[in-house]
Chain A
Amino acid sequence: MTDLRNAPGRLAASRPPGVPGRGTAGRRRVAALACVPLIAVAAAGCGDTGGAGGDSAAVKYPTRTIQLMAPAAPGGGWDSTARAMQKTLTDGKLVTESVEVTNVTGAGGTLGLSQLVTKNKGDAHHLMVTGLVMIGGVVTNKSPVNLGQTTPIATLTAEQEVVVVPANSKYQTLQELMADAKANPGSINWGGGSAGGTDQILVGLLAKAAGADPKAMKYVAYSGGGESKAALLSGDLTAAVSGASEYADLVAGGQVRALAVSGATGIDVGAGKPAPTIKESGYDVELMNWRGVVAAPGISDGERAAIIELVDKLHASEQWKQTLAAQKWDDFYRSGDEAKAYFDQESKRITDVLTEIGLAG
């Protein structure tokens, strides 16, 4: 599976950071004039001075190519988020500079995270797509760096999770399934994505809410969406957990039944009518597989404000709304301090549940 990794962008990104800045600085207008000499000399751009100067609104951003890192292979959720952002920013003329997407693959995104925190520290032109999965990755991989060390910018999108059983399963509702999971945990074979990922987190949260022991849940991890699908169809699994859209065709085709979705409101996952939420099924669990964006640590307040403003504009644009609709992503926008608070709150919740499952040891 791993030969998906690549990053054409990164080759291009390896040129000295000052060079593109100098070439484009000449085209900057009045607001940026003060920065020009600085860009030519120092790669860090004019942000540092702008922030120190007091008036954060005066920071001109971006002053050169934005490096947007997708900490996973092309084709996945983070990559498509990054590329959708790139397209919206450049097509919508929200930035005059270019945006480059780079893929840094590995270790649940924590390899990319450690690169952003260590190598790109203080450089406001380095952004990274992140999400719930990375929080899990930090915990399970015992990553030396965590999301709290970055500069939070915004959460952008989210996808609901779905709990499915084969069509011939005896379970018609989530309650029936969870009742058995509580009474006889060994009888339920749960399956989903990688260990410590969103799917297993949801199983852990569900078990907790149902009064079962999260550690006793038998969860079998599969790489990629396909393997767990095959395992559910072959009868290896009692129930599978996955992103809501993943099973749409099998649900529509009648091979698989959706028991519940994990968001605040029920959505149609293929059956032609909205599936009930986990909350409606009687368990106080809500889990969104959200994705967002962070900036490198150590940037000035002015730079942070400017990036947030840019992402605000991205979110408000018509093209972004179209992208959300086309990709079936929920709008899940929180920016600035709200995003920071959300990151912190999710980090705690996820770390707690993974500890209870026994994956954070």
Chain B
Amino acid sequence: MNVFGDLLSGFGTVLEPQYLLYAAIGVTLGTFVGVLPGIGPALTIALLLPVTFNLDDPIGTFIMFAGIYYGAMYGGSTTSILLNTPGESASVATAIEGYQMARRGRARAALATAAIGSFVAGTISTLLLTLFAKPVASLAVEFRAADYFALALLAMVAVTALVGRSLVRGLISLSLGLFLGLVGLDELTGQARFSFGTLELLDGIDVVVIIVGLFAIGETLYVASRLGQLPDRVTPLEPARGGFGWLSRQDWARSWRPWLRGTAVGFPFGALPSGGADIPTFLSYTYERHRAKNKAEFGKGAIEGVAGPEAANNAAFSGVLVPLLTLGIPTSATAAVMLAAFQIFNVQPGPQLFDKSPELVWALIASLYVGNVLLLLLNLPLIRLWVKVLQIPRPILYAGILVFATLGVYAATNSVTQVLIAYGIGVLGFFMRHFEFPIAPVILGAILGPMMELQFRRTLVLSNGDLSVFVTRPLTAVLLGLVVVAVLVPFLPRIVARLRGRPATAERLAFGEDD
């Protein structure tokens, strides 16, 4: 296999001091960018594009960009865990258990499992990218609109566990998300929906705006409303163990399987041309919750619920590179900006990239391995710094969050209207917290809803309105079959019990009161 030869020469390039420097700049920048709500890797790379145009060093540029992307995935977990304020959709699932861990004084362990999980997932998925990029890509483009619809439906059904304690509240939250996802131009017909005649709403409400509004702003308002009843400082911390003691033996034992499972979900999803990094995090969370021996701990800070999603979103990044490098198909906002960068340097990603620019591709892939190591080295010591954030007095801390959230939305959208929308959603988020509506289903609805609708209608346009396309292709039929299974499984014990003529036992439905 000459893959290893190519990879070695890639390492040869990357380990030159100047490229190591690019990688270090990238991962550091990415980490900090990931920490700030609203400012994501796509924005950062877009801002740096004109600068790198002048650098005239494609290899260095892409090493840096990959570092930013990865770094942002590492950094994104930090605010989710410490402050319940995720900055992008791929960190929302992390916030659910991560923030509960932080509240119980386990912030260090949560940050450590996120960082180490990201490293494990990043390294394994890069290995998968190295070895299987082409076959994975040719499989991924087999997915048609009908399959994407089935996949979105499956995700929607599978993650109902996020609905939380009350089914009614959960469904109301989900509906709100579905509604927010509807706003703007309908992609297929170009007709405006719920835009109230304004140009500003034509592009819809950015998921980032919804997330920053609901989490950062909503949380701040909620904390402010209860300031009198809360202790002055955010959370007492467990004493540090010192040395390599971020995770206890038990934490390690509980983390490593979720890391691997998260990687297994994240990589293929990232590789799908309409996949993305957010759906696998929710799937991973749900799966870990189902598997957990101690289900009661979920919702109160289970480490598995942090380890899985964090691994999934990092694995998704290497997955995203598969269609980008082998077919020139960008599957995320960041990948789209990177594609633009490739074109600026007159490099056309696609089937011939590996033959035409092997030096660039293998240096980029090698830089992913190096970047992961750098990120681990950067992030583990940073934990000590990040947890200090929790010692900032609450009013100052949350005022700071509000400032960064506002700046983030403005920087990402360049529109005062969007900032106002974020605040409107923030007020909504406050009331949702006050009346105990779960927040995550809103994000789920806003992400999965438009995807389901669009792919469903696309399928019907393509098939001239013939619904049978959903069952005639094996792939679609299998996915839809899984949807049926996922819906029925929670009811199975009851059905079996009834068939045997016995009254239903204590088995609960998925949405049971204390699920």
Q: Which residues of A contact B (CB under 8 A)?
A: 1-8, 10, 73-76, 80, 83, 101, 103-107, 110-111, 114, 140-143, 186, 189, 194-196, 218, 220-227, 229-231, 233-237, 245, 248-250, 252-253, 255, 326, 359
Contacts and interface: CB of A to CB of B under 8 A. Distances in A.
B208 A195 contact: no
Contacts of A10: 414
B413 interface: yes
B206 to A, nearest CB: 5
Contact of B412 (A5, A101, A196): A5
A75 B340 contact: yes
A234 B142 contact: yes
Contact of A83 (B50, B88, B331): B50
A193 to B, nearest CB: 10
Nearest to A196: B190
Contact of B200 (A2, A73, A106, A224): A106
A60 B46 CA distance: 34
Contacts of A222: 187
Interface string B112-143: 00000000000000000000000000001111
B144 interface: yes
Nearest to A360: B190
B329 A220 contact: no
Contacts of B141: 230, 233-234
A215 B323 CA distance: 34
Contacts of A142: 192
Contacts of B40: 3
Interface in B374-428: 411-415
Contacts of B349: 249
A249 B352 contact: yes
Given A4-B337, A249-B328, A220 B458 contact: yes
Given A230-B274, A250-B350, A4 B203 contact: no
Given A80-B344, A189-B462, A103 B330 contact: no
Interface in B38-68: 40, 42-43, 46-47, 49-50, 53
A326 B206 contact: no
B145 A231 contact: yes
Contacts of A225: 330, 339
B199 A114 contact: yes
A18 B8 CA distance: 57
B266 interface: no
Interface in B450-472: 458, 461-462, 464
B273 A220 contact: no
Contact of B202 (A8, A106, A227, A249): A106
A347 B415 CA distance: 28
Contact of B49 (A5, A74, A226): A74
A103 B414 CA distance: 8
A237 B328 CA distance: 18
Contact of B203 (A75, A105, A195): A105
Contacts of B340: 74-76, 80
A220 to B, nearest CB: 6
Contacts of A75: 46, 49, 336-337, 340-341
B47 A74 contact: yes
B348 interface: yes
B327 interface: yes
Contacts of B208: 2-3
Measured as residues with beta carbon below 8 angstroms from the partner, the interface class of chain B is 35 or more
Given A6-B411, A326-B346, A229 B329 contact: yes
B327 A230 contact: yes
Contacts of A220: 188, 458, 461-462
B42 A4 contact: yes
Contacts of A218: 461-462, 464
A94 to B, nearest CB: 18
**Top 9 closest A-B pairs, CB basis?**
A249-B350, A195-B190, A253-B351, A75-B340, A230-B273, A226-B329, A74-B46, A107-B202, A7-B414
B465 to A, nearest CB: 9
A114 B50 CA distance: 26
B353 interface: yes
B509 interface: no
12 contacts: A2-B208, A3-B42, A4-B333, A75-B46, A111-B199, A189-B461, A225-B330, A226-B323, A226-B339, A229-B328, A231-B144, A248-B348
Contacts of B274: 227, 230
B323 A255 contact: no
B47 A223 contact: no
B15 interface: no
A227 B185 CA distance: 18
B204 interface: yes
Interface in B144-194: 144-145, 185-190, 192
B352 A111 contact: no
Contacts of B458: 220, 236
A83 B344 CA distance: 12
Contacts of B327: 229-230, 233, 250
A3 B143 contact: no
B351 A4 contact: no
Most buried by A among B140, B462, B464: B462
A195 B185 CA distance: 9
Contacts of A255: 351
Given A3-B88, A142-B192, A195-B189, 11 more contacts: A4-B42, A8-B411, A74-B49, A74-B337, A75-B336, A111-B200, A140-B190, A141-B185, A252-B352, A253-B350, A253-B351
A226 B411 contact: no
A226 B331 contact: yes
B198 to A, nearest CB: 9
A80 B340 CA distance: 9
A359 B187 CA distance: 12
Which of B186, B189, B190: most chain A Cβ within 10 A?
B190
B187 A195 contact: yes
Given A75-B46, A196-B190, A236-B144, A5 B414 contact: yes
A223 B350 contact: no
Contact of B336 (A4, A105, A326): A4
Contacts of A1: 333, 336
A6 B188 contact: no
Interface string B314-340: 000000000100011111010111011
Nearest to B204: A2
A252 B143 CA distance: 23
Contact of A104 (B323, B344, B352, B414): B414
Contacts of A111: 199-200, 202
B215 to A, nearest CB: 15
A109 to B, nearest CB: 10
Highest count of chain A CB atoms <10 Å: which of B43, B202, B208, B343? B202
B413 A5 contact: yes
B58 to A, nearest CB: 13
Contact of A221 (B188, B336, B352): B188
